[in-house]
Structure 1
Amino acid sequence: MMISQETRDIYAIIIVGNSGVGKSVLGNIILGRQYFKHDFSARSVTDQTESTTCQLGDKYYRIYNIPGLIEGDEERIALNRREVSRAFEEQTGHSFVIIYVFGHQNGRIRNEDVVTFRAIHNAYRFSPDSLITVVNGLSPDRPSTYDKETQTTLIGLLGMQPGRICFINHLKLDGTQEADVRTYLIDTILNVRPEVHTKTNDINLMIDDVRGLEAELNKLQIEVESERHEHEAMIASMEREYEATQRLLTLRRLFGQAKANLRRLESFREQQEHLIYMLGQWEAEEIVYADDPSSDHFILARTNKQDAEEELAKNVTTQHQIDVALNVCRGDIEQICYELGQIYNGKLDREYYILFDNLRFDSTIANVKHSFLNDLYKFTCHHFGDID
């Protein structure tokens, strides 16, 4: 249908893509009604360019549903080339939006869809600002990274950044998802800029061209996948280094806590010896004045003795708390060592040995009576070899 003088201000939406990618279904969803014929078929259902007008937001659009370009014989490809050209020619000199629909094979962008895109883009030079690409019929259970990774792959294959890239799930037969998809598509259409696309070349595509381009795309796909794997490997390496750094920082903190608690134990040991000595002194003083329990000497000796007993009890309680903290700290250090061993493929980072030697050879805790150092030493030797 040619655009008349009265409808020149109507924008167009040209839906392009190969047979079976769901162009007709998406066109009907945008319209909000069944207009374009579609069916489950081994052959292309759309064999002629179809169009109709609708209002989206405050704008009017003529929506074109175009046959797929690639078919199994030269005659059908030639026919489809004419049908594709027909829609573009009707919009000569007018602004329109291109929606290019990609299918997929188990999530992988199909070569034939890229071939068709390149052939039409070479003829009409799509403007990125007015181009919407759709990857259609996706599993809703696809990996969370799929959309982002496929977007990167698609940009590499197309050699350009489309205005919008949409990922649409496989639709249920009951039609419950269509309202959400329609809202999504209309919002996308209204947020791109229709532009004039001038024909610069003919759509040149023959069976031999398809095969040659597919071979080229296979090579490009391999290169893109290789680059993606290299990027993922680099990210994984950076994440491992980050995790290792975080664990080493935690190790520093744990060894610092252990040293502080061992020093506290040494301090409490000295306090305990002093308290036991003073307790003996006050007990002796109490015995001396036992015959005169009302005397100031007896009362003072008893009071000081009770204070020393209370302080000694507090000292013992605190030491027990420190003992528990040291055992927990040792367990945390051992866990960090296991994790570092996994990150470094069984090899413990050199910094651990520096931290451990700095602790075990510290003269300020050399006389502490606690199993912390011995147990940690046994663990280190057992899991990482003799360190002497």
Structure 2
Amino acid sequence: MEANSVSSKKPEYGLIILGNSGSGKSYICNMIIGYERFETDRRREAVTTTVESHRIDAEPSDLLIYNVPGLIESHQEEIDRNKREIVKAFEQSPISVVIFLWTPVDGRPQPDDIIAFKALKEAYKFPPKSLIFVLNNIPSKRPATYEARIFALLTKMLNPIPISLEDMFCLDTLNSEDNEKFSATRGRLIHFIAEHHEKEQKLQADIIVRSNELRMLREAVKKQYLEAEENKQALELQIKQMKNEYEAARKGQEKRYQDMVFKLDVIKQQAEEEEKGHDPAIIGGGISAASVGALGAGAAAGTAMGAGAGTAMGAAAGVTIGGIGGAIITLYRFRRK
């Protein structure tokens, strides 16, 4: 038995949450996990300074969720410490999906977020479909073009780095008492992550951030903002285009999410009927256990019901679910309230 333990070891995938201090990394980690696993106190002394992780046990792969320190700090010693912790997370789980958290202020991405992302992108490159942008703490009452304006500014600030609206998730400011909205938002976020694919995240260059250059870099970003906003006609045209593209992308995401919810409910019914000894073929329009076999790319969730969840979602929604997708759909299925 022990002789086979090494060869039969389950593959592991990482979900690595990046962003500056105070961006809400711990909050997002807890939302995904389904309970308060990481400290979310926003006081300075409570900010994460070492990499933390949480293991999700799923079959045939495990998911490790990483709460990583922010990058930008006032002193070089703190920046260097954070860089080491970030590198440590990627060394522990090189096959990962990455989330970068943006915390816009007054409808603009913060300069420190721009600086941090550019430094991390230069170091790791982040292969396509393995990187997610989450815009956190978006005001619930906002202009119709709020998100599109941020996307337009991000496009200009990050140029020539391409950004895709298909990889953008906007997270409204949530009332802690509104459990129904929180649960729905969590479900959509989990589904969004599951549509992305774990890739090998290789350190290809040093993460370069120098504390004595931060002031200059912040001023350069602010200057770019002013230049973009002075050219109102070009900016408004880009905002209009971004708004249309984002609405189309969001409609597609919502349809796929609703398809997933429906399929998971059907699978739950099938599992319950099978336990009672009934024929599941009559449930959900004849979707049987045979039609929801193992996930593609070797991915699956923790039980027959969980394995079917990922497959059914992929078949219904027209997406490919990788290893991390099966594991994270398990989170949705078995922690759903």
TM-score, scaled to structure 2: 0.63
Runs (5+) with no aligned partner, structure 1: 237-388
**Residue 233 to residue 28, structure 1, CA distance change in 2 (3 Å):** closer
Give the structure 2 partner of residue 168 of structure 1.
171
SS of equivalent residue, structure 2 residue 174: coil
Q: Do the aligned partners of 1:29 and 1:181 also contact (CA within 8 Å) in 2?
A: no
Match in the other structure for 2:64: 62
**Mapped pair 1:144 → 2:148:** no
- 1:198 paired residue number: 202
Partner in structure 2 of residue 258 of structure 1: none
C-alpha separation between the residues in 2 aligned to 1:212 and 1:56?
47
Give, in angstroms, the shift of residue 153 of structure 1: 1.9
CA distance in 2: counterparts of 1:197 and 1:65, whole angstroms: 17
Which residue is 2:28 aligned to?
26
Q: How far 1:66 sits from its partner (Å)?
A: 0.2
CA distance in 1 between counterparts of 2:39 and 2:9 reads 25
Q: How does 1:156-305 map to 2 (within 5 A)?
A: 156-158=156-158, 159-162=161-164, 164-176=167-179, 177-227=181-231, 229-232=233-236
Query: Residues 191 and 165 of structure 1: is their aligned pair in 2 closer, same or farther, counting only changes over 3 Å?
Result: same
| Equivalent pair of 1:19/1:44 in contact (CA under 8 Å) | no
Q: Give the direction of change, closer, same or farther, for the CA distance of 1:197–1:91 in structure 2 (3 Å limit).
A: same
**Which of 59, 67, 77 matches 1:75?**
77
Pairing 1:155–2:155 present: yes
Does the CA contact (< 8 Å) of 2:115 and 2:217 recur in 1?
A: yes
Q: Tell me, in whole angstroms, the C-alpha distance in 2 between the residues paired with 1:117 and 1:7.
A: 34
Aligned-pair Cα RMSD in Å = 2.6
SS at match of 1:105: coil
What are the Cα deviations for residues 135-172 of structure 1, in whole angstroms up to 9, with x where unaligned?
A: 11111101111112212222332222145111111121
Q: CA deviation at 1:76?
A: 1.2
Give the C-alpha shift of residue 37 in structure 1: 1.2
Bigger CA drift: 81-90 or 15-24? 81-90
Alpha-carbon distance between aligned partners in 1 of 2:213 and 2:8, rounded to the nearest angstrom: 41
* Cα deviation, residue 128, structure 1: 3.2
**What is the percent sequence identity of the aligned residues?**
31
SS at match of 1:21: coil
Instruction: Report which of the two has the higher share of helix.
Output: 1
Question: 2:10·2:61 contact (CA, 8 Å) conserved in 1?
Answer: no
Displacement of 1:225 in angstroms is 2.6
Find out whether 1:85 has 2:87 as its counterpart: yes
> Equivalent of 1:16, from 12, 15, 18?
18
1:107 aligned residue: 107
AA aligned opposite 1:51: S
Q: Work out the CA distance in 2 between the residues paired with 1:173 and 1:56.
A: 29
Point out the structure with max Rg over C-alpha: 1
Q: Contact 2:11/2:61 (CA < 8 Å) preserved in 1?
A: no
* Distance in structure 1 (CA, Å) of the matches to 2:232 and 2:60: 42
After superposition, the Cα gap between the structure-2 partners of 1:141 and 1:82, relative to the gap in structure 1 and judged at 3 Å, is same
Give the paired residue count. Answer: 231
SS at 2:129's partner residue? helix
Report the alpha carbon displacement of residue 59 of structure 1 after superposing the two structures with TM.
6.0
CA 1:217–1:53 in structure 2 vs 1: closer, same or farther (change >3 Å)?
same
TM-score, L = length of structure 1: 0.55
TM-aligned CA deviation for residue 218 of structure 1: 1.7
Q: Which amino acid aligns with 1:142?
A: R
Counterpart-to-counterpart distance in 1, 2:116 and 2:96: 19
CA distance in 1, matches of 2:104, 2:224: 16
> Partner of 1:14: helix, strand, or coil?
strand
Q: CA deviation at 1:235?
A: 9.9
Kept after mapping to 2: 8 A contact 1:153/1:224:
yes
Aligned to 2:124: 124
Contact 1:128 1:161 in 2 (8 A): no
Sort the Cα spacing of 1:122 and 1:28 in 2 relative to 1 into closer, same or farther, 3 A.
same
Q: Name the SS of the counterpart of 2:37 in structure 1.
A: coil
Counterpart-to-counterpart distance in 2, 1:217 and 1:7: 47
* Highest RCO, 1 vs 2 (Cα 8 Å, sep ≥ 6): 2
Q: 1:180 to 1:233 in 2, by over 3 A?
A: closer
Q: Which residue of 2 aligns with 1:98?
A: 98
Displacement of 1:209 in angstroms is: 2.7
One-letter amino acid of the counterpart of residue 118, structure 2: R
